[in-house]
Chain A
C-alpha cells in the first residue's frame, strides 16, 4: 500500500436534505518522498481536501490512511502550512516555533529543543527576525515562519495549503524557490495545493488537477519529468514544461475539469402594478407597499 492513500473520499457540507457535495470519488496514492501538487480552481474544495488529509475534518465516506494507519484526527505527523499562516500574533517567531517543538519532544533536553527551534528559524533565513512578532513581518516572512513551524514538528508528510496564495508575484517566486530547496533537502513527502500550474510544475514530481466544484474530483496524474534543480527562467522555455502546462490547463478547462455550476433560484417576477403614492401612509410604521402580484418562479440554470 502507498504511503498516503485516499480511497473513494467524498465530502459535502450542509444539512442532509440539501447537502452540497464538495468532493467526490477522490482517489489518491502518494509514495514516500514524493512531492505531489494538486492544482485546481479557487473554491473547488482544495482546502477541504487538505483538511481531510490533516484530519481536521472527516470524510462522509471513504478512507484515508497514512502509513497504513487510518487518519481520524489531526496530529503532528502531518505538518500543515495554512494559507493564512495561522501564526499566533502574541508570540514571537521563536515562540511560535517553540510552541510546536516543546510539547512534541518532551523527552529532549531544553538545550536540544532550543537548538532544534533555532535551526529551523535559520533554515528559513529568519534568524535576524527571531524575536519579532508576526505583525512586524511581511507576508512572505510570516509564511516562512509557518513553513519552519511545520517542519520543526518533524512530520512524516508536509501539507501545504496554497502557501503562497496571498503573496505578491516577486515574493512568491522567491519563496517558491526556497520551499523547493527546503523540501528537496528535507526529503519529506509533500502535498502542495495551489491554483498556479507554473508553481506546481516548478516544485512537484507529479501533478493532479482538481476539477471545479461542486462535486470536484481529481483528474489524471501528470508526471513532471524535468530534472532538478529546476531553474525558473530556463523552465519556461523548456518544451516539456509547456507540454505539461498545456496538459493541466486543457484538462481543467476541458470536459473533465470544467466548472458546472447549477444555479437554482426562486425569482419573484417584477410587478406591473405601480405603487399608489396618493394613498396615505399607514400608521404604526406599516409602510405603504406595492402589491406584489408578480408570480414566483423557480429557475434552474446550468452553466
Chain B
C-alpha cells in the first residue's frame, strides 16, 4: 500500500473503531407497553443517556446542514455559534500576543527582570480559566453591560499568553552570541539590534509560542462562555446540556475539536514557513 493511501486509510479505521465502541456503549430507546395498553419510551444499554452516533446525526443535522442559519437567539447554525466564539477568541488572543511578546523579550533580555517576575509567572501560569473568569468580571464591573465581554477577553488573554511569554524568553536567550557580536562590531543601536537581530532570530520560537497560545485561547473560550452566558459554541453546549439535549453536546464537542485542530494546523503551516525561511 502506498504511503499516502495509508495516511488516509488508517485514520478511518481508527474512527470506525471509535464509532463502533460508541455505538456499543450508547443507550437505545425502547418502547414498552404497559399493562393498560399505553406505551412509554424507556432507555436501555450500558450508558442509558448517551445517544448513539446515528441518533446524534439525525437530531443535530439541522445545525450542521444550515450552519449559518439564525432561527432564534439560542437556535442557530453550528458555524454561526463557532464564529461568535472565534471573534472573541481572536480579540483575546491578539491582546495576549500584544502583551506576551514584549514581556517575553524583557524576560529573555534582562536577568533582573527574569529574577523578579519568573516565579510570579510560574505561579500564575497553571491557574485555570474558571478561576480567572470571576476576577475578570469583577475587574470590569465599572464597564456595566460590557463587563462580561471584557472579563472574557481578560480571561482569554491572561490564560493564553504564557506560552508566548515563555517561548519568546527562551528564544531570546538562545540567540547565538555570534549574532550579537556582529551587532556590536557594526555598532548597531539598541533599537536596531532589537529589530534587525533579536526579533528575526527569535521569530521561530515566538511562533511556537503563538501556536500554543492559540490552542489555549480556544480551550478557554468554552469555559468562559459557560460562565458568562455570551452567545457562542460553549454557551450553546451548556444550554443544550441544561435542556437535556445530549446529542447537541456531542456535536459541540466534535466542532470544538475540529476547529481547534484546524487552528493548530494553520499555525503550524505558518510556523513552518517562518522556519523554512532561514
Kindly list chain B residues whose C-beta atoms are within 8 Å of the C-beta of A94: none
B184 within 8 Å of A (CB atoms): yes
Out of A76, A84, A103, name the residue touching B192 (CB < 8 Å). A103
CA distance A141 to B173 in the complex (A): 29
User: In the complex where A56-B181, A86-B181 touch, is A104 in contact with B278 (Cβ < 8 A)?
Assistant: no
23 A-B residue pairs with CB within 8 Å: A56-B184, A56-B185, A73-B184, A74-B185, A75-B187, A76-B186, A78-B185, A80-B181, A82-B181, A86-B178, A86-B179, A88-B182, A88-B197, A90-B277, A90-B278, A91-B200, A103-B186, A103-B189, A103-B192, A133-B278, A135-B278, A153-B185, A153-B186
**Scoring A residues 77 to 118 as 1 if CB is less than 8 Å from chain B, else 0, what string do you get?**
011101010101111000000011001100000000000000
What is the size category of the interface that chain B forms with chain A? Answer: 10 to 19
A54 within 8 Å of B (CB atoms): yes
CB of A70 to closest CB in B, whole Å = 17
CB pair A54–B185 under 8 Å, yes or no, is yes
Kindly list chain B residues whose C-beta atoms are within 8 Å of the C-beta of A104: 186-187
CB of B119 to closest CB in A, whole Å = 27
CA distance A103 to B277 in the complex (A): 24
B188 within 8 Å of A (CB atoms): yes
CA distance A113 to B244 in the complex (A): 72
CB pair B178–A82 under 8 Å, yes or no, is yes
Kindly list chain A residues whose C-beta atoms are within 8 Å of the C-beta of B178: 82, 84, 86
CB of B237 to closest CB in A, whole Å = 43
CA distance A73 to B188 in the complex (A): 13
B196 within 8 Å of A (CB atoms): yes
Secondary structure of the B contact surface, majority rule:
helix
Those 6 A-B pairs whose CB atoms lie nearest each other, nearest first = A86-B178, A74-B184, A89-B278, A90-B200, A74-B185, A90-B278
**Scoring B residues 170 to 196 as 1 if CB is less than 8 Å from chain A, else 0, what string do you get?**
000000001101101111110010001
What is the size category of the interface that chain A forms with chain B? Answer: 20 to 34
Out of B187, B196, B200, B278, name the residue touching A76 (CB < 8 Å). B187
Interface residues of A in 36-80 (CB under 8 A from B): 54, 56, 73-76, 78-80
A residues bordering B, Cβ < 8 Å? 54, 56, 73-76, 78-80, 82, 84, 86, 88-91, 99-100, 103-104, 133, 135, 153
Closest to B189 in A: A103
CB pair B278–A99 under 8 Å, yes or no, is no
CA distance A73 to B178 in the complex (A): 16
**Scoring B residues 189 to 221 as 1 if CB is less than 8 Å from chain A, else 0, what string do you get?**
100100011001101000000000000000000
Closest to A80 in B: B185
Closest to B186 in A: A100
CA distance A100 to B184 in the complex (A): 11
CA distance A294 to B203 in the complex (A): 53
Name which of A91, A99, A104 has the most chain B CB atoms within 10 A of its CB. A99
Kindly list chain B residues whose C-beta atoms are within 8 Å of the C-beta of A56: 181, 184-185
CB pair B185–A99 under 8 Å, yes or no, is no
Kindly list chain A residues whose C-beta atoms are within 8 Å of the C-beta of B189: 103
Kindly list chain B residues whose C-beta atoms are within 8 Å of the C-beta of A88: 179, 182, 197, 200-201
CA distance A78 to B178 in the complex (A): 16
CA distance A135 to B203 in the complex (A): 17
CA distance A173 to B232 in the complex (A): 68
Kindly list chain A residues whose C-beta atoms are within 8 Å of the C-beta of B186: 76, 99-100, 103-104, 153
Closest to A89 in B: B278
CB pair B278–A75 under 8 Å, yes or no, is no
Name which of A74, A84, A91, A153 has the most chain B CB atoms within 10 A of its CB. A74
CA distance A19 to B90 in the complex (A): 55
CB pair A74–B187 under 8 Å, yes or no, is yes
Given contacts A82-B181, A86-B181, 17 further A-B contacts (CB under 8 A): A74-B181, A74-B185, A74-B187, A75-B185, A76-B187, A79-B185, A80-B185, A84-B178, A86-B182, A88-B179, A88-B197, A88-B201, A99-B186, A100-B186, A103-B186, A103-B189, A104-B187
Closest to B178 in A: A86
Kindly list chain A residues whose C-beta atoms are within 8 Å of the C-beta of B278: 89-90, 133, 135
Kindly list chain B residues whose C-beta atoms are within 8 Å of the C-beta of A100: 186
CA distance A79 to B181 in the complex (A): 12
CA distance A56 to B203 in the complex (A): 26
Closest to A134 in B: B278
Closest to B276 in A: A135
Kindly list chain B residues whose C-beta atoms are within 8 Å of the C-beta of A80: 181, 185
**Scoring B residues 145 to 173 as 1 if CB is less than 8 Å from chain A, else 0, what string do you get?**
00000000000000000000000000000
Kindly list chain B residues whose C-beta atoms are within 8 Å of the C-beta of A135: 278
CB of A104 to closest CB in B, whole Å = 7
Kindly list chain A residues whose C-beta atoms are within 8 Å of the C-beta of B192: 103
CB of A86 to closest CB in B, whole Å = 4
CB pair B184–A99 under 8 Å, yes or no, is no
CA distance A54 to B186 in the complex (A): 11
CB of A232 to closest CB in B, whole Å = 30
